[in-house]
Structure 1
Amino acid sequence: MRAVQITEFGGPEVLKVSEVDAPAAGDGQVLITVDRAGINYADTHQVENSYLSRTELPLVPGGEVVGRTADGRRVVALVGSGGYAQQAVAAAPYAWDVPEGVSDGDALALVLQGTTAWHLLRTSTHLQPGETVLVHAGAGGVGSLAIQLAKLWGAGRVIATASTEEKRRQTVDLGADAAIDGTADGLKDRILAANDGKPVDIVLEMVGGRTFDASFEALGRFGRLVVFGAASREAAQPVDPRGLMVGSKTIAGFWLADCFKQPALLGDPLKELFDLTVAGRLHPVVGGEYALSEVAKAHEDMRARRTVGKLLLDPTR
């Protein structure tokens, strides 16, 4: 079968389409004929071996797929790796039926980025009605869903960051009350200005480096900042634990992989997200679709911040 396989670590240039053996489903697994695979920013880290978990070569990247099982079920599944291919194998508990009214792109946006946004707001920061939420990369896969969920769940004010004016307009269209430039220089002042001079209650942070520093400085009393990525590939300044005491602030981390041992931690949020989508209350953003042969361009576009929402890979092309 055709698949994207890497045999050395690096940037987008190491992503090559190859002929590889088709996978076989073992006990407790399902074989899926892939209609579309999801592309995630985490994939760029996996390809260069800079992710939280180390990668062994050769590797077929791709953590989630939507397609058909041998018995005709239409499912979306988390596969860990192997998604950039015409066929993939998933553990049965991590392949969920996709309801009518949820497109392939919707399903792929929700299964990983949607459940991440759900846990960031529900599990990690315990959003309360009326609180102010700062969402970094608001036009991205997680951010575009987090903005909508925060508003649905009663946030008093949602502030989004984005790298261009067009993306900032898109976050406002999604429900953000204010959108600001996410550039690190002067970021704290822009955050406070967007919140009428007041610090924020919650920050969803996936950039790292100076963006983390500025976001922490803009955090208010009893504020919670949750880290779920490090897109800048830069280290933040060390945080003195005593600095958490003044203002009773919390810094948390979230990695969806920590939910994998309990399928309900994914399946229950996913069902809620599916229901909201079918009801027309949640609108996943599908930002583009690439042929399998264009996978390097997809990674280049993502790393250059030229994309929005969820990116899809078509293994038939």
Structure 2
Amino acid sequence: MRAAVAVHEGGPAALRLQTLPVPTPGPGQVLIRVESAAVNFSDVKRRRGDAYPFPTAFPFVPGSEVAGTVTALGPGVSSVALGDAVFGLVGGQGLGGYAQFALAQANQIGPRPPMIHPDQACGLTVAGTTALLLLREAARLQPGETVLVSAAAGGVGSFLVPLALRLGAQAVIALVGSPAKAAQARALGATATVDALAADWHEPVRALTGGRGVDVLLESGGGDALAQGLRALAPFGRAVVYGAASGLDARLDAAALKALFYTPAPNQSLAAFNLGGWFMERPQVAGTALHELVGLVAAGQLPAPTVQPLPLTQAAEAHRRLESRETLGKLVLKPWVD
């Protein structure tokens, strides 16, 4: 089978197309013929050699979620059948979704509703579930509140904007890096957009809220973005960090921490979010969120994510686009397309 392999730690060029043997499913596993493989920023971090959430030994096949068809069953599997259209998590034993076939634990995949295209289904588990858990569980969004979404035209952001409105947000301010991304965010329902490349973007955010600030900040940029975001946070506001797309860890100096906690304490809170922790420590909550999300998309009550499909041969290009923040919506690799 063809696979895109991270042969060593490094930049996008570390991804090389190779021919590997088709894996055999073990107990509790299924083999999936991959039609669509989602490209997530966690793939980039692992290719860089980051411990996310733990180091991955090289060489390995990236990719944590796919959509496809079940082609083989391991011993003891009865929850799915040969030929079932499924989507879900893969990536154990260093064999991820950037390949024509991938192994999955049978309890980590689910049936793909026929009205959801594989390109869209493959991104539901990570991006979609992250968005719903961020809003409902981590940020505890309340009806009538204002939400600021960073990278609002990206994979997670494309879910956050409409979900926040569905959960009762009064306004959703989208932080974006280009006019095309601003248009995408507005199409998703964003109330207003703010240029993420502006030097002091917290000022227009505060102006849009009459000087009060936002109730919820969902931050994924890293670097100085968190410090700026906290300056746009309202009293009793909640900031949740769920990524560092810039490749830079979030930076907070002593002055920012003092303003947050001590002078005078504005009753704000700062939290971190990692989806893997929810599936490991609170699987029932995470699974319920995913089930709800799939139902909303299948019923047409939530927009299906915008996707940018690329052939598997362009896996390195997909990573380059993701790192340079050139993407609109979700990048998807197509292993059987030349």
For normalisation by structure 1, the TM-score amounts to 0.96
- Displacement of 1:242 in angstroms is 7.6
When structure 1 is superposed on structure 2, of 279-288 and 86-95 the one drifting more is: 279-288
When structure 1 is superposed on structure 2, of 193-202 and 258-267 the one drifting more is: 258-267
Between the aligned partners of 2:112 and 2:275, the Cα distance in structure 1 is 20
Q: Structure 1 stretches of 5 or more lacking a match?
A: none
- Displacement of 1:40 in angstroms is 1.0
Between the aligned partners of 2:247 and 2:326, the Cα distance in structure 1 is 18
Which residue pairs with 1:68 in the alignment?
69
Conserved 8 A contact 2:120-2:307: no
Between the aligned partners of 1:166 and 1:50, the Cα distance in structure 2 is 31
- Displacement of 1:51 in angstroms is 4.4
Q: Give, as a single letter, the amino acid of the residue that structure 1 aligns with 2:323.
A: R
Between the aligned partners of 1:242 and 1:188, the Cα distance in structure 2 is 15
Cα displacement string for residues 48-98 of structure 1 (whole angstroms, at most 9, x for unaligned residues) = 112432111111001101111131111101113511001111111111111
Corresponding residue SS for 2:314: helix
Between the aligned partners of 2:247 and 2:333, the Cα distance in structure 1 is 25
- Displacement of 1:217 in angstroms is 1.5
Corresponding residue SS for 1:83: coil
Q: Report how many aligned residue pairs link the two structures.
A: 317
For normalisation by structure 2, the TM-score amounts to 0.90
Aligned counterparts, 1:250-269, within 5 A: 250-261=269-280, 262-269=282-289
Cα displacement string for residues 165-199 of structure 1 (whole angstroms, at most 9, x for unaligned residues) = 11111101111100010126111102112223221
Corresponding residue SS for 2:156: helix
- Displacement of 1:144 in angstroms is 0.9
Match of 1:233 among 235, 244, 247: 247
Work out whether 1:305 is the aligned partner of 2:310.
Answer: no
Work out whether 1:78 is the aligned partner of 2:89.
Answer: yes
Between the aligned partners of 2:139 and 2:231, the Cα distance in structure 1 is 17
Aligned counterparts, 1:1-317, within 5 A: 1-52=1-52, 53-70=54-71, 71-80=82-91, 82-183=96-197, 185-235=199-249, 236-238=251-253, 240=257, 243-244=260-261, 246-261=265-280, 262-317=282-337
Between the aligned partners of 1:111 and 1:45, the Cα distance in structure 2 is 18
Corresponding residue SS for 1:209: coil
Corresponding residue SS for 2:119: helix
Between the aligned partners of 1:243 and 1:301, the Cα distance in structure 2 is 35
When structure 1 is superposed on structure 2, of 150-159 and 270-279 the one drifting more is: 270-279
Between the aligned partners of 1:165 and 1:258, the Cα distance in structure 2 is 35
Between the aligned partners of 1:165 and 1:252, the Cα distance in structure 2 is 30
- Displacement of 1:207 in angstroms is 0.5
Corresponding residue SS for 2:22: coil
Q: CA RMSD in A?
A: 1.5
Identity among equivalent positions (%) equals: 39
Corresponding residue SS for 2:24: coil
Cα displacement string for residues 14-40 of structure 1 (whole angstroms, at most 9, x for unaligned residues) = 110001122221111111111111111
- Displacement of 1:277 in angstroms is 1.1
